[in-house]
Amino acid sequence: MKKILLSVSFLFSLVLFSNHLQAQTADEIINKYVTAIGGKDKWAQVKSMKVSGYIEVQGIKINFSQQAIQGTGVRVDAEFQGQKIIDITTPTMGWSQNPFGGKSTLQPISEEELQQKLDELDIQDEFVDYASKGSTVEFIGKDEEDGNEFYKIKMLTKNKNESVYFFDVNTYATAYVSINKVLTKKGNLHEVSGDLTIKEITHPVNFSVTILKDKISGKLTFDRTKYNVKFASGSFFENLGDNLINDTITLEINLNKL
């Protein structure tokens, strides 16, 4: 379960990154990336996060929610075949419940398991101020897959967790929605029509939002493969197993008036 959730996070990092320089260093690529996702000053304001949605594995939908407070704790809840799966991580301890793994109640995880999860406490993106967080990076080259070029950067965190990240050379920094029309359906419920652009590919989208005095909320669902985002897609690759990522992406919209 956790591996799949992390794969979803990786997908969005792949979609949102852009740069056009030919001679690259790790810091040049990372600085371009951090600027593209809003800059470190804005990310420093992110103190908490809540995500909800579902993962589809071999045609079966698994609903999940994730709540996190920066540097303090992360909790993931999921439900499959009527059984609850829970994963909790704090800086000093962690707990998990997974009936399919022999844990019918919340139980402490091992020191080794905790070490692997500690990096998840950073919700401000691992590349934002990475050096001050105790991480090191290394540019390990440029590669190509399915006609798409990407840069590869290896990161070693202070918790001794090593990962390789892929940054698409030819994609673009931002994905955005242009709103063309908003129609009132009933009361506070409105229907929005517009265009979603990812990697300079644009398709029309329609979604509903609830507009209150101090809050706007809704969900936008789209097929990522229409925007040439094919990583770990079952529509293009076979035998992916647990590494398969659903083609359908649902973004939850929650805008609060400050």
Tens digits of residue pLDDT in 212-240:
888 888 889 998 888 877 766 767 666 66
Same domain (yes/no): 30, 63: yes
Same domain (yes/no): 66, 126: yes
Of 190 and 21, the structure prediction assigns the larger pLDDT to 190
Same domain (yes/no): 87, 143: yes
Same domain (yes/no): 228, 244: yes
Query: Any residues with CB less than 8 A from the CB of 46 and at least 6 apart, and which?
Result: 70, 123, 124
Same domain (yes/no): 75, 50: yes
pLDDT score of 242 more than 80? no
Q: Which of 136, 168, 200 is the last residue of a domain?
A: 168
Q: Which of 111, 144, 168 is the last residue of a domain?
A: 168
pLDDT tens digits, one per residue of 65-78: 899 999 999 999 99
* pLDDT computed for residue 3 by the predictor: 39
What ranges in the chain are assigned the alpha helix state H? Answer: 2-16, 26-36, 40-43, 111-117
Same domain (yes/no): 180, 164: no
Same domain (yes/no): 32, 115: yes
Two tokens at 108?
């402490």
Q: Which of 125, 142, 168 is the last residue of a domain?
A: 168
Long-range contacts of 234-243 (CB under 8 A, 24+ apart): 236/146, 242/3, 242/4, 242/57, 243/3, 243/7
- Phi, psi torsion values for 23, nearest 5 degrees: -90, 115
CA–CA separation, 140 and 246 (whole Å): 29
Domain count, the chain: 2
User: Considering only CA atoms, which of 131, 101, 108, 132 is closest in space to residue 2?
Assistant: 101
pLDDT tens digits, one per residue of 134-165: 999 999 988 876 667 788 899 999 999 998 88
* pLDDT computed for residue 200 by the predictor: 75
The Cβ-side half-sphere exposure at 93, using a 13 Å CA radius, reads 4
Same domain (yes/no): 87, 144: yes
Same domain (yes/no): 76, 19: yes
Same domain (yes/no): 131, 19: yes
Same domain (yes/no): 145, 99: yes
Q: What is the mean pLDDT of the chain?
A: 81
Query: Any residues with CB less than 8 A from the CB of 12 and at least 6 apart, and which?
Result: none
Of 100 and 18, the structure prediction assigns the larger pLDDT to 100
pLDDT tens digits, one per residue of 167-210: 877 553 557 788 888 888 888 899 999 998 877 789 999 999 89
Q: What is the CATH number of the domain that holds 225?
A: 2.40.128.110
SS3 96: strand
Same domain (yes/no): 117, 211: no
**Which domain covers residue 13, as residue numbers?**
2-168
Give the residues across from 218 on adjacent strands.
Answer: 209, 253
